[in-house]
Amino acid sequence: MQHTAGGHNDEKDILAFSNHLYSCDFAAADHALRLLCLPHTSAHGRINSVDMRRETELFHYKDYSLHVSSNMLYKSVNRRFFLLKRKKKDKEDDIMMTKDQYIESLRKLHLNLYSFGKKVENVVDNPIVRPSLNSFAATYELAEDPQYEDLMTATSNLTGKKVNRFTHLHQSTDDLIKKVKMQRLLGQKTAACFQRCVGMDAANAVYSTTFETDEACGTKYHENFVKFWTDVQNNDWGVDGAMTDVKGDRGLSPSKQADPDLFLHVVERTADGVYVTGAKAHQTGYLNSHYVLVMPTISMREGDEDYAISFACPTDAEGITLILGRQSCDTRKTEEYNDIDVGNKVYGGHEVLVIFDRVFIPNDMIFLNGETQFAGMMVERFAGYHRQSYGGCKVGVGDVLIGATALAGEMAGSAKASHVKDKLIEMTHLNETLYCCGIACSSQGTKTKSGNYLIDLLLANVCKQNVTRFPYEIARLAQDLAGGIMVTQPSEADYRNPATHDYIEKYLKGVASVPTEDRMRLLRLIENMTMGTAAVGYLPESMHGAGSPQAQRIMIARQSNMEMKKELAKKIARIG
C-alpha cells in the first residue's frame, strides 16, 4: 500500500526526518513525522491502520519510502521502529551489519534491566555487561573478515542473499559442519560464551516444527515464522532463544503448578493476538539481542494448551523486566585496577532472568499456540541443535585453556617434565573428542520435511553427555599444572602500589626471561576460565546448558535402537 504524504513533503523534510531517526532524536522525528501529515498517524503518534504484512510502506516520495514493521503496530511512532529507506540501494545484497553498526543498534533499545538493586540506564556501556556485548559483537566482526567468509556467512534459502551464518537455516550436512567449525573459531577468539548460538538453534527447530504443525493442523505458523526470519536475515538482528522456564515444582505439569506463572503461558486471547505471563531463566545473550524467540520448555499434555506457546517479540517489548544474574568474581570488572585481575579483559558472557508481565504478542508473531502434541518436537529439536553446538563452542574455549596451561608450564620452567606433557596430551584428547562428536552428529544429519537439516539426535546427545564431563577434567588439569599461585597471587592494586610492587615482582617470578606481569596475567586467565566469570559458561553451562546430564541419557535411551541390537546378538548367537 502506498500513500502520498501531504503538507511539507519535500525531500528536505524527509532527509531531516531520516537524520532525526538515525541520531536517535525520537522527539524531533515524531515532530517531523507530524509535519509530513501522514494519513496513518494520529495526534498521539500511534498507527491507526496498516496492512498486516511484515513490513508496510506508509508513503513514498521520489527515491524515498517510509516503512513500519507490522509487529510494531502498538508502539509509539517516537520510538525506533520506523525505517526510512532509499528505494535505490547501491549494494542490494549487503544486508549484514558491521560490528560498529551492531553496537550502535543496541543503543536504540530500551531494556528494562536491573542489576545490584538498581535500574541500569546505559546497558551497552555497563562494565558488567560490556564484555558479553564484545563477545556477541565478534559474530559480526568475524563475518566482515574475508578469511572467515566461508565459515561466517551463508546463502539464505529464503532470500538468496549472503547472510551471517548465525541467521542461516541449515541446508545441508556441510552447513551443519561449518556451524560447528564457526563456533570453535569464535570460542578461540573470545575464550567466552558468544551467545548467538541459541537463537540460531531455536530458529532451525522452530522452522521445521512449524512446517509439520501446519501440515497436521492447518495452521499458518510456518508462514509467520518465515516472514519473521526473513526480517531477521535482512536486518542481521541478534536473536535470543528462550526455552528454560523456572519450573516450580518439578513433580507437577505446567497446568498443575500452585502458581500458574512458573511456566510461561497465555493469560488472555484477543482477536489480534495473545498476552503472555511468566519467566525464562538463564537467558544467555538476551541483553545483546534485538528479538527474543520463545519456545516451550518441555513436552506438553492435554490441559497444558496455554503453555504450548512459541512466539517472537522485541527484547524491549512493553511488560518485559530483566534482572541480571551474578557471576563469580563479577565485581572485579568495576574495580579501579582490573586490567590483570579480571583475567579476560575484553570478552565474557551474561545471564538474565526475563520476566514477561502481560506482554502482548500479535498473531503474526506466534509460531505455536495450544498444539500440545508439537511442543515436544520443538523442544527435542532445539535441544539436539544446541547439544551439537557444544561440540564447537566449548572446544574453542578449551583450545585457549589448553594453550594457557602449556604457557604456564613454560613460565614456571616445568614444560619438559613428563607428567606435564602427559596431562597436556590428556587435555587435548578430551577436547578433540568433543569436537569429533560435534562433527559426527553434523555429518550424519538428515533433511526435514521443511527442507532444513537436522543433526543426528543420538550423536548430538552423546556429544553433550561428554560435554557434561570433559571440560571439568580439562579445568582440573589446568588448575593442577597452573599451581596454587593461580588463586593466591596478590591483587593488581598491590602490584601497582609502589610500597609492594618490587616484592611481588621479585617473588612471583618464574623463568627469569619471562616478565612477572605476564605470568600474573596468564594465571588470572586460567583462574577466570576455571573459577571466575568465564567458568560460568565453560563449566556449569557445560553441565546444564541444553539440558542437564539426565536429559541426554533419556534421549540416548530413546535413540539407541536397543531392540535392533538385541536382534543382532540373537542372530550371531543363533538363538531365539
Give catalytic residue positions: 193, 197, 284, 351, 386, 390, 393, 541
Which DSSP state fits 417? S
Nine cell digits for residue 199:
537463537
CA dist 372 and 384 (Å) reads 19
Which DSSP state fits 133? H
**The cell 613460565 sits on which residue?**
411
Sign (positive/negative) of CA torsion 104, 105, 109, 111? negative
Sign (positive/negative) of CA torsion 282, 284, 289, 293? negative
Alpha carbon separation from 562 to 357, 444, 559 (Å, rounded): 46, 19, 8
> Minimal CA–CA distance to 426: which of 393, 394, 401, 456?
401
- Helix (H) / strand (E) containing 324: strand 320-324
CA angle 552, 554, 558 (to 5 degrees): 110
Provide the 3-class DSSP secondary structure of residue 111.
coil
The number of beta carbons lying within 10 Å of the beta carbon of residue 146 is: 7
Q: Please, are residues 521 and 482 in contact by the beta-carbon 8 Å criterion?
A: no
CA dist 53 and 158 (Å) reads 17
CA dist 20 and 80 (Å) reads 10
Distance from first CA to last CA of the chain, Å, rounded? Answer: 72
**The cell 497465555 sits on which residue?**
266
Q: What is the bridge-based pairing of β-strands 162-164 and 239-242?
A: unpaired
Q: Please, are residues 254 and 265 in contact by the beta-carbon 8 Å criterion?
A: yes
Provide the 3-class DSSP secondary structure of residue 221.
helix
| SS3 readout for 426-460 | HHHHHHHHHHHHHHHHHHCCEECCCCCEECCHHHH
CA atoms within 13 A on the CB side of 533: 28
At position 22, the amino acid (one-letter code) is: Y
Sign (positive/negative) of CA torsion 134, 197, 315, 116? negative
| Helical pair 457-467 and 375-412, crossing angle rounded to 10 deg | 40
Residues 6+ apart with CB under 8 A from 410: 511, 514
CA dist 105 and 96 (Å) reads 13
